[in-house]
């Protein structure tokens, strides 16, 4: 289930800060800096059922899901794409932070959430990169939340998205010296929706042209860029920044300036 090995060009920096800040909707309210519970979206949080065992059937029966050492019924799930603003499953805790050894890339095709069969959108996956660092949000699910979250994510990420599961080490922003084992959904080159690398300008053009059942592909890009802005200057993603810059250059060519945000 390991991702493809990413070769970094000689002399390339690990990443640069996302320089633009966009709102996916003109009416969005400003969001507070990330903390234990990240703001916006339809995030759901409710108390865990204390004595409820998770269902025995999991989305990938062969996988050994990472568990919290202090609670055998607890599981951390790491999100680095749309999960950072819209998990849509109940959880007990959430923490902003990062995983090392991976870089985020818009290399996975999406024919459902952000695109169609004729015009697949571009969404992110993780690629192995020993110099990489990817920021996101880890959600803790406990008790009966575990089976419900995994069942939901199996459909959203695996069945409709083409993602597989992988264990990663997550470093919380507020306690990087206390890493956690977490479950991440990663799209590998072996899945049929994988698109692979392309110039950032080409990816931006594709994103601007695609829409799926979850909304416009541009919304996906801008919400992710917005999240990275809130993480602070230490959060860097050169690939994301280049696509955002390309979109900022191209967007006036696709529609009048005053209607730009109406795309999403």
Which residues belong to the active site?
Answer: 157
CA-based nearest residue to 169, from 145, 138, 125: 138
Separation of alpha carbons 203 and 247, rounded Å: 9
- Report the interhelical angle of 200-209 vs 238-254 (nearest 10°): 50
Structure tokens, 135? 């920021």
Three-state DSSP at 10 gives coil
The residues, any chain, with a CB within 8 Å of residue 14's CB and separated by 6 or more, are: 131, 132, 133, 236, 238
Three-state DSSP at 257 gives helix
Q: Are strands 180-186 and 75-79 parallel, antiparallel or unpaired?
A: parallel
Structure tokens, 167? 């264990």
Burial annotation 27-52 (CB, 10 A radius, 16+ → b, else e) = eeeebeebeeebebbebeeeebeeee
Three-state DSSP at 45 gives strand
Give the CA count within 13 Å in the CB-facing half-sphere of 132.
24
Burial annotation 153-182 (CB, 10 A radius, 16+ → b, else e) = bbebbbebbbbbbbebebbbbeeeeeebbb
């Amino acid at each position: 289930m390991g991702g493809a090995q990413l070769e970094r060009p000689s002399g390339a920096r690990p990443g640069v800060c996302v320089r633009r800040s966009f709102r996916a909707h003109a009416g969005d309210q400003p969001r507070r800096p990330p903390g234990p519970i990240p703001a916006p979206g339809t995030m759901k949080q409710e108390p865990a059922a204390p004595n409820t065992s998770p269902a025995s059937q999991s989305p990938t029966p062969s996988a050994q899901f990472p568990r919290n050492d202090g609670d055998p019924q607890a599981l951390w799930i790491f999100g680095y794409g749309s999960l950072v603003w819209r998990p849509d499953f109940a959880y007990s805790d959430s923490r902003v932070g990062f995983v090392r050894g991976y870089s985020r890339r818009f290399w996975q095709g999406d024919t459902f959430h952000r695109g169609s069969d004729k015009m697949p959108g571009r969404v992110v996956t993780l690629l192995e990169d020993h110099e990489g660092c990817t920021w996101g949000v880890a959600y803790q699910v406990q008790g009966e939340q575990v089976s419900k979250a995994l069942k939901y994510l199996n459909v959203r990420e695996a069945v409709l998205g083409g993602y597989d599961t992988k264990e990663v080490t997550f470093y919380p922003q507020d306690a990087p010296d206390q890493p956690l084992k977490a479950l991440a959904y990663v799209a590998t080159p072996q899945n049929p929706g994988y698109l692979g690398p392309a110039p950032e300008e080409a990816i931006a053009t594709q994103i601007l042209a695609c829409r799926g059942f979850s909304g416009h592909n541009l919304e996906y890009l801008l919400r992710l860029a917005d999240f990275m802005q809130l993480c602070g200057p230490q959060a860097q993603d050169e690939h994301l920044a280049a696509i955002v810059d390309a979109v900022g250059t191209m967007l006036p060519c696709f529609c009048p300036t005053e209607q730009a945000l109406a795309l999403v």
